[in-house]
Amino acid sequence: MKKQKKIFLKFEANNFYKRNIKRLSNVNYEKHQIFIELKNYLKKNKKKINLLEVGCCDAGLINYISKNFKNTKCNGIDPSLLAINSKKNLDLNLKVSTADDLPFKNSSFDILIYNFCLYLSDDEDLFNIIYEANRVVKKNGLLFIYDFYHKNTKYVKYIHRKGIYSRKMDYSKLFLWHPKYELIKIKKFKHKNKNVHFKNKNLNETRLYIIKKNI
């Protein structure tokens, strides 16, 4: 099977962005679960924070964070050049790349965010994805992972293109097997989208994890 990463880099990431331009411009980031949690942390923190969102699409979330917390330098990567270019004049550092290949130096970030991005990654890339996360996050850094959940790992057909699958799993498992990665918080939600992906009630759970890297 052709790797999903290649398909996203070639056209599907741009297609996702084009399909969602209107919805993305109407997101209320003040009520976004990652912003709500991050706010508590950033308010207490006085030092300069370097933050990366992986799979940031049009960078709406990190743009909002950057505007509200001036001591935060926001970086983002996404396979869509179109999405990245939509915010190219702002004070954000945005690059085209994928989760398994983060174009940044070791120990660069205090915070790493995956906001509904890991579910589209290839199984074959998962080791590289956690290697890259561990490499770029500083000691005592935080990971925010918000994504689809299923306790047994399920693959669901992606409705927009044949041959692509979404993976629903417990994404905290990617890091929490390691003795020096610690679960700080977990929040559980039901996805409200009524489309075919979520008709089955067993498949509509989403989870937000905050995980600390103690090494």
Ligand X SMILES: C[S@@+](CC[C@H](N)C(=O)[O-])C[C@H]1O[C@@H](n2cnc3c(N)ncnc32)[C@H](O)[C@@H]1O
Which residues of this chain interact with ligand X, rule CB under 6 A? 5, 8, 13, 16, 54-57, 78-80, 83, 98-99, 115-117, 120-121
Residue 143 CB, nearest distance to ligand X (Å)? 14
Residue number, 49 or 120, with CB nearest to ligand X: 120
Q: Which two tokens stand for residue 172?
A: 């905290």
CB of 47 to ligand X, least distance (A): 25
Shortest distance in whole angstroms from residue 46 CB to ligand X: 28
Sheet with 72-78, strands from edge to edge, namely 93-96, 72-78, 49-54, 109-115, 137-148, 205-213, 181-190
Nearer to ligand X, 49 or 117 (CB): 117
| Closer of 23 and 105 to ligand X (Cβ) | 23
Residue 62 has φ and ψ, to the nearest 5°, of -70, -25
Cβ pair 99, 117 in contact under 8 A: yes
Evaluated on CA atoms 47, 63, 148, 156, the torsion sign reads negative
* Closer residue to ligand X in complex, CB, 23/47: 23
40: helix, strand or coil: helix
Relative to beta strand 154-157, strand 165-168 is antiparallel
- The distance of closest approach from Cβ of residue 55 to ligand X in the complex, given in angstroms and rounded to an integer, is 3
